[in-house]
Amino acid sequence: MSSLPVNRQTALPGFQESDNTAENPGVRAPLVLNMDRFGQVTRQVCQVAESKKPPFAWYAAFTISLGLVGLLGFCVNYLIFTGVGVWGLNNPVMWAFDITNFVFWVGIGHAGTLISAILFLFRQKWRTGINRFAEAMTIFAVICAGIFPGIHVGRVWLAYWLFPIPNQMEMWPQFRSPLLWDVFAVGTYFTVSFVFWFVGMVPDLATLRDRATGRIQQFAYGLFALGWRGSNRHWHRYERAYLLLAALSTPLVLSVHSVVSFDFAVSQVPGWHTTIFPPYFVAGAIFSGFAMVVTLAVPARQLFGLKDLITLRHLDNMNKIILVTGCMVGYAYSMEFFIAWYSGAVYERFAFINRAFGQYWWAYWIMVSCNVITPQLFWFKSIRTSIPIMFALCLVVNIGMWFERFVIIVTSLANDFLPTSWDFFTPTWVDMGTMLGAFGLFGTLFLLFCRYLPMIAIAEVKATMPQANPHWSGYAAHDDHGHAGGSAQPSFASPDALRSPGSGPDGGPSAP
């Protein structure tokens, strides 16, 4: 239709056109800015995938990421052909960078599931702006995580021993080991997250299919859109299935990092053998994951012109969650210390004093300053809504959370029961290369996703617009086509109680 009005105001009372962070009880903050037509949302999201060339920064980032993937490939192959001795591992520090990276990446993934599942169950509509790429982040993070235990097993060609594959050797995995629970937890987590992501994307892939002009795009998007045609009978089952997935993913995401924490908590190493680990790991995972979502969202919305869909309010909300989970993490750190003293266990007490003042004191204090002190700045709204500051703080949180895992794993192992077997872990260049390479892999996958897939859940965002409410009557009276046939418009055109007169889309009074 040629008569699509552009750039109508959507400002609601109490909200600026470009700043929707104000709190106005009684008025729902707008989640989509500067747009009041569904088509505008479609175009805004699809232009990223449809543009002939992405912005220059995309090429720059992609080149760097791809280079790091090369480094990862080299390091992993070098490890496989030489042996795990190329890492800085020693006896007693048998786990170091590999497991640190594994726990770090699994943790990153948790924010995506929290956004897509838990916020969905709580009917937090702002999740729609960020859930798609947060879920993508989850999947890519779990891929990165999966690499590390995979190559850490030593004889990589026997990694299939992790799975209960029917065999005639009476050789089975030992199901009482938390390491095996991990295989099932992370495997399920990846599968369910992937399915969740894909199912959510099917209607949007159909949008891209219907807009595609090239043969290749039509075929590729068409193939994965599975012939979706927006039938309401389909939507009905789709929404049910989606709700079920959310309800299933919620306990799943809580279980995954709990199981990861069992890898430590079930052992008897001082500093690991604590009951606080499962909730503490989950809170830390969500904390680091949200920091990563903000780290990715800030450049992405800038680069691809999505500021009206990933608004300041979305970022503000995420920063609030970072503040809350940061406080939980801080509480866990102090409670660990308290229990170490209160338990009266000498090894436990030593482990914690050693963490803060032993050979790895610097790692511990990096962790505390990054994870406990930094997020406290988010108490101030001016900081929560300042793009450069939040970006910097979230990078700091990412670093802090990496160090948290390093501190837990390495300090506990390096100085355990017998002082004669103590040692100091120093990473080698292969350790460093593999860690950087994993970031490269993550970046590569994420950049490809941004370029070719709908970065924002188009259908879900549309459904959160006030215009999507069947009782909304905003531009009905001003529609150029009029309402022929005298349909039931009058009976449905009850004014939305939340919209004050004069707030109609083009400044005129709302109908009726």
Partner 1 sequence: MTTLSPIPAPVIQGNQIPRKRLYGIMAEFHDPAALMAAADKVRMAGFRWWDCHTPFPVHGLDQAMGIKRTILPVLVFGAGMTGTMIGFCLQAFTNAASFSIWALVWVTGYPFLISGKPLISLPAFIPVMFELTILLSALSAVGIMFLFNGLPRWNHPLLANKRFLRVTDDRFFIVIESRDPRFFASRTEQFLKDLGAKAVEMVEA
Site for partner 1 in 280-319 (CB under 8 A): none
Question: Smaller CB distance to partner 1: residue 143 or 476?
Answer: 476
CB 140 to partner 1: min, Å:
19
Does position 223 bind partner 1 by CB under 8 A?
yes
Does position 91 bind partner 1 by CB under 8 A?
no
Between CA 351 and CA 14 the distance in angstroms is 53
One residue of 107, 149, 203, 330 binding partner 1 per CB under 8 A: 203
CB 29 to partner 1: min, Å:
19
Scan residues 11-40 and list those touching partner 1 (CB under 8 A).
37-39
Question: Smaller CB distance to partner 1: residue 75 or 206?
Answer: 206
Question: Smaller CB distance to partner 1: residue 53 or 233?
Answer: 233
Structure tokens at 354: 């050693």
Q: How many residues bind partner 1 (CB under 8 A)?
A: 85
Question: Smaller CB distance to partner 1: residue 77 or 268?
Answer: 268
Does position 229 bind partner 1 by CB under 8 A?
yes
The sign of the torsion formed by the CA atoms of 77, 81, 82, 85 equals: positive
Question: Smaller CB distance to partner 1: residue 234 or 451?
Answer: 234
Between CA 249 and CA 255 the distance in angstroms is 9
Q: With H, G, I as helix, E, B as strand and everything else as coil, classify residue 257.
A: helix
Between CA 508 and CA 512 the distance in angstroms is 11
Does position 176 bind partner 1 by CB under 8 A?
yes
Question: Smaller CB distance to partner 1: residue 57 or 244?
Answer: 244
Determine the residue type at 127: R
CB 257 within 8 A of CB 110: yes
Does position 213 bind partner 1 by CB under 8 A?
no
Q: What is the DSSP letter of 23?
A: -
Between CA 11 and CA 18 the distance in angstroms is 9
Scan residues 182-201 and list those touching partner 1 (CB under 8 A).
184-185, 187-188, 191-192, 195-196, 199
Question: Smaller CB distance to partner 1: residue 360 or 475?
Answer: 475
Q: What is the DSSP letter of 506?
A: T
Of 69, 32, 44, 43, the residue nearest 447 (C-alpha): 69
Does position 163 bind partner 1 by CB under 8 A?
no
Does position 161 bind partner 1 by CB under 8 A?
no
Q: Which stretch binds partner 1 (CB under 8 A): 8-16, 165-173, 292-300, 407-415?
A: 165-173
CB 309 to partner 1: min, Å:
14
Between CA 120 and CA 494 the distance in angstroms is 28
The residue whose two tokens read 């169950």 is: 121
CB 474 to partner 1: min, Å:
9
Scan residues 38-77 and list those touching partner 1 (CB under 8 A).
38-39, 42
CB 469 within 8 A of CB 510: no
The secondary structure of 114-146, three-state, reads HHHHHHHHCCCHHHHHCHHHHHHHHHHHHHHHH
CA atoms within 13 A on the CB side of 449: 22
Scan residues 448-487 and list those touching partner 1 (CB under 8 A).
458-460, 462-463, 467-473, 476, 479, 481, 483-487
The sign of the torsion formed by the CA atoms of 189, 193, 196, 202 equals: negative
Does position 376 bind partner 1 by CB under 8 A?
no
Q: Which stretch binds partner 1 (CB under 8 A): 75-83, 233-241, 338-346, 418-426?
A: 233-241
Question: Smaller CB distance to partner 1: residue 156 or 165?
Answer: 165
CB 262 within 8 A of CB 311: no
Q: With H, G, I as helix, E, B as strand and everything else as coil, classify residue 505.
A: coil
